[in-house]
Amino acid sequence: MKIQVLGTGCKSCDTLYANAVTAIRKIGMEQTAQLEKINDIDYFTRMGVFTTPGLVVDGELISTGRVVSEEALIEMLTSRK
């Protein structure tokens, strides 16, 4: 599973990334999930993210402009396993 956090390094972007790291650990996906932090603004716009942070899972835009909680990430990722 490929998880991308799109952001320019703001506090919200860093928090979303940290939440993703924790969620991946809590559900034991360290070996199967590929987590990336992307700060390429051109990529943001191609993905439809105009307000950061953005969350993309396996090429699908999941969230934009808000920090997804650890609990919501756990639920989302386990439903996609």
Report the pLDDT value the prediction gives residue 80, as an integer from 0 to 100: 83
Report the pLDDT value the prediction gives residue 35, as an integer from 0 to 100: 97
CATH number at residue 47: 3.40.30.10
Q: E strands within the chain?
A: 2-6, 34-38, 54-57, 60-64
- Domain encompassing residue 21: 2-80
Report the pLDDT value the prediction gives residue 43, as an integer from 0 to 100: 96
CB 68 within 8 A of CB 23: no
Pairing of strands 2-6, 34-38: parallel
Task: Please determine, for residue 31, whether its predicted confidence score (pLDDT) is greater than 90.
Answer: yes
**29 three-class SS:** coil
pTM: 0.94
CB 63 within 8 A of CB 4: no
Q: In the chain, how many domains are there?
A: 1
Over residues 47-78, the pLDDT tens digits come to 999 999 999 999 999 999 999 999 999 999 99
Over residues 7-24, the pLDDT tens digits come to 998 999 999 999 999 999
